[in-house]
Amino acid sequence: MAWQFSVLVVANVTADSRELIEALTERAARDRCRFTLLVPAGGSAGRDAAKARVGAAVAHIEEAGLEVEGVVGDHDPIAAVDDVWDPRRFDEVMVSTLPTGSSKWLQIDLPHRIERLTDVPVKHVVAEPARPESKTHQREQPEELGLLSPLGAITGRRPRT
């Protein structure tokens, strides 16, 4: 039987993001892997939302052909990792966060804190949350003025409706 790596994946709003799924797929392409997705809950009301997020994310990750199980953890991401961490079970950790300006996890330096806690490599994935599919609104196209287009702002010409 071939060796199988086990990767703990810590994510919340980015759990089913395109960037995270791509990173998981790239990791699985290097070695045989199984993933455990850990989503910290945000209080008692947040636990139900976290369960729903885990279910949706697991479905998306499985659609990508990856082996994954999902768990909901403590609302504090460090405590959540500490609760599930077992060095005999996991080989590495992947943390998915929002970009720097909007990530609370980066404000508390979560990837480095998890690396110190677990003493294994931690890969940080920056992702945008998956956007719910919605009706796209088409923008009105401005009236074409040809060579005089730059003068449209001065003349106040508006698009025809």
Over the stretch 112-134, which tens digit does the pLDDT of each residue have?
Answer: 999 999 999 999 999 987 666 54
Q: Structure tokens of 111? A: 């990837």
How does 29-40 read in b/e, with b if 16+ C-beta sit within 10 Å?
eeeebebbbbbb
pLDDT digit string, tens, across residues 64-97: 999 999 999 999 999 999 999 999 999 999 999 9
CA 134/CA 132 separation, integer angstroms: 6
Specify the pLDDT at position 5. Answer: 95
pTM for the model: 0.79
| pLDDT band at residue 45 using 50, 70 and 90 as cut-offs | low
CATH superfamily label, 5-133: HUPs (3.40.50.620)
104 DSSP assignment: H
End-to-end CA distance of the chain: 67
Output the pLDDT for position 136. 46
Q: What's residue 142's pLDDT?
A: 46
72 φ, ψ to 5°?
-100, 135
